[in-house]
Amino acid sequence: MPVTFHVYNTLTKEKMPFEPMEAGVARVYNCGPTVYGRPHIGNYRSFLFADLLRRWLEYTGLEVRQVMNITDVGHLTDDDVADSGGDDKVEAQARREKKDPFEITRGYTAMFLQDMAALGVREPEARPKATEYIEEMVTMVEQLIASGHAYRVGGNVYFDVSTFPAYGRLSGNRVEDLVAGSRVEVNDEKRHPADFALWKSDPAHLMKWETPFGADGFPGWHIECSAMAKALLGDQIDIHTGGEDNVFPHHECEIAQSACANGVPLANVWMHAKFLQVDGGKMSKSIGNVYTLSDIEERGFEPRHLRFALLRGHYRTQINFTWPIMDEIRARLENLDEVAVMLHRILDGGPAAADAEAGRALLDSAIASFEGGMNDDLNAPVALAALESLRKPLLEGQVGAAVAADTLAFYGKANEVFGFIQVDKQTADAEIEALIEARNAAKAAKDWTAADAARNQLTAMGIELQDTPDGVVWRRR
Ligand SMILES: [Zn+2]
């Protein structure tokens, strides 16, 4: 297993050692959500993969400059073909909800951020919104026109794919095949059917901006990410990620327009997470299995159970989501939590192996296996198995006090990467309930000072209280 981080690059179709352009710093751009609906568990997989990558880069000692955009300009229903035709998804949703499109994107952005926080996703350095970078997009489009890579037809601007011979390298889609397979809309105003829109003019469009291209209009989806990546991370970045559906046309088009505008390749490494399967197939509204975080919580699971479920498989392999799998996840996570409980017990003077160094070799091999797994293109299953292997020697009393201390330190560090295990010492439920009782008694006696003191103590212990008609409910934050 590799001792340095190796990544699979969709562009070259091979694993390669990861070497950032600037020593000690990784520049990473993640394609974010289009905010016209609440994200579902399939979307979360790609965002959690981005979070795992960032956390692993940090574990290896790099400073990570991470940007994940929010696409709050409605891109079009035909964006899965290269040239953006069809209806605007945000505006369509706005019509359904009888709201302003900007209200729609604001609302769903807030929902997305809440879900990300609940799932333990670390905040990137920036979350640019496409609507805030229109000027940068227009500048890039103007550059492409000036250099002959793009052309205007009325108020529309198209990228001329014939000017970029490497078009198709990422996805393997050759321009000739695209036309034959009609993955492009035949549109009379384009020079070549595979040309894609950089800017569309449409005075009837609700989300529109004034530009030098003629009538008011809006950017093509692809140019948004190229412009935001350039504005925040520079002409060239180390890693660009997305879901497998982003490979074509989105990333193919980003590569072409950025290279032509900037004169250097946009990203050295392209990484893509596979789709999540639900109930063994594609999730669908008609089956009713397009689940969101609320559905997960309504079934009695915590967000960290979902985080585990979505990170447990290698990001480039197919993983499946079912409710019975969630039950297994819960049990596996309990076992991982238990490792921390057993380690704390030893450190608090509980029974341990007589030899303080007992279990050292097992710990060393678990660390090697964890790091080797993650270094091998984020092979999470191998890394998780390494963490799970720590449980048996603890159950069998084979771990000495010195090794327990080192194991706990490693376990905490490993959980900085995965983020779903309870590693900190947990306060016993009985202690929490006694404090709640004391607070209730103080409230009944109108002793507000004592009631507040009890509540503050609980807050300091990481316990959140909620007063409900059935009494006080508590949970760990
Ligand atoms: Zn993007």
Q: What are the tens digits of pLDDT across the range 312-328?
A: 999 999 999 999 999 99
DSSP 183: -
**What is the Å distance from ligand 1's center to 437 Cα?**
52
pLDDT at residue 158 is higher than 80 = yes
Convert the pLDDT of each residue in 375-397 to its tens digit: 999 999 999 999 999 999 999 99
Mean pLDDT along residues 88-97: 82
Mean pLDDT along residues 261-282: 97
pLDDT at residue 82 is higher than 50 = no
Q: Would you place residue 98 in the very low, low, confident or very high pLDDT band (cuts 50, 70, 90)?
A: confident
**What is the Å distance from ligand 1's center to 196 Cα?**
15
**What is the Å distance from ligand 1's center to 168 Cα?**
17
Q: Compute the distance between CA of residue 155 and CA of residue 192 in angstroms, rounded to an integer.
A: 18
Poorest-pLDDT segment among 83-92, 332-341, 359-368? 83-92
**What is the Å distance from ligand 1's center to 271 Cα?**
13
Asked if residue 225 belongs to a known ligand binding site, the reply is yes
Mean pLDDT along residues 47-68: 98
Asked if residue 285 belongs to a known ligand binding site, the reply is yes
Q: Compute the distance between CA of residue 54 and CA of residue 64 in angstroms, rounded to an integer.
A: 7
Residue 290 in tokens: 């397009």
**What is the Å distance from ligand 1's center to 250 Cα?**
7
Which phi and psi (to 5°) does residue 243 adopt?
A: -85, 165
Convert the pLDDT of each residue in 440-476 to its tens digit: 999 999 999 999 999 988 888 878 888 887 788 888 7
Convert the pLDDT of each residue in 192-235 to its tens digit: 888 999 998 887 788 889 988 877 899 998 999 999 999 999 99
Asked if residue 31 belongs to a known ligand binding site, the reply is yes
**What is the Å distance from ligand 1's center to 130 Cα?**
10
pLDDT at residue 80 is higher than 70 = no
**What is the Å distance from ligand 1's center to 290 Cα?**
22
pLDDT score of 312 = 98
Three-class SS string for 379-410? Answer: CHHHHHHHHHCCHHHHHCCCCCHHHHHHHHHH
Domains and CATH numbers, the chain: 6-273 (3.40.50.620), 293-418 (no CATH), 429-476 (no CATH)
**What is the Å distance from ligand 1's center to 93 Cα?**
20
**What is the Å distance from ligand 1's center to 84 Cα?**
14
Mean pLDDT along residues 285-289: 88
**What is the Å distance from ligand 1's center to 225 Cα?**
5
List the shell of residues around ion ligand 1, using CB closer than 5 Å: 31, 225
Mean pLDDT of the chain: 92
**What is the Å distance from ligand 1's center to 251 Cα?**
7
**What is the Å distance from ligand 1's center to 247 Cα?**
10
- CA distances in angstroms from 371 to 57, 267, 364, listed in the order given: 12, 25, 11
Asked if residue 274 belongs to a known ligand binding site, the reply is no
pLDDT at residue 303 is higher than 90 = yes
**What is the Å distance from ligand 1's center to 426 Cα?**
41
**What is the Å distance from ligand 1's center to 31 Cα?**
4
Mean pLDDT along residues 12-38: 96
Asked if residue 253 belongs to a known ligand binding site, the reply is no
- CA distances in angstroms from 462 to 147, 331, 415, 437, 455, listed in the order given: 58, 23, 18, 17, 11
Poorest-pLDDT segment among 87-96, 138-147, 306-315, 352-361? 87-96
pLDDT score of 285 = 85
pLDDT score of 75 = 62
Q: Would you place residue 85 in the very low, low, confident or very high pLDDT band (cuts 50, 70, 90)?
A: low
Q: Is 91 helix (H, G, I), strand (E, B) or coil?
A: helix
**What is the Å distance from ligand 1's center to 143 Cα?**
20
Q: Would you place residue 93 in the very low, low, confident or very high pLDDT band (cuts 50, 70, 90)?
A: confident
Amino acid at 430: A
Mean pLDDT along residues 141-167: 95
Which residues, other chains included, contact 96 with Cβ-Cβ below 8 Å and sequence gap of 6+? none
Convert the pLDDT of each residue in 395-440 to its tens digit: 999 999 999 999 999 999 999 999 999 999 887 778 888 899 999 9
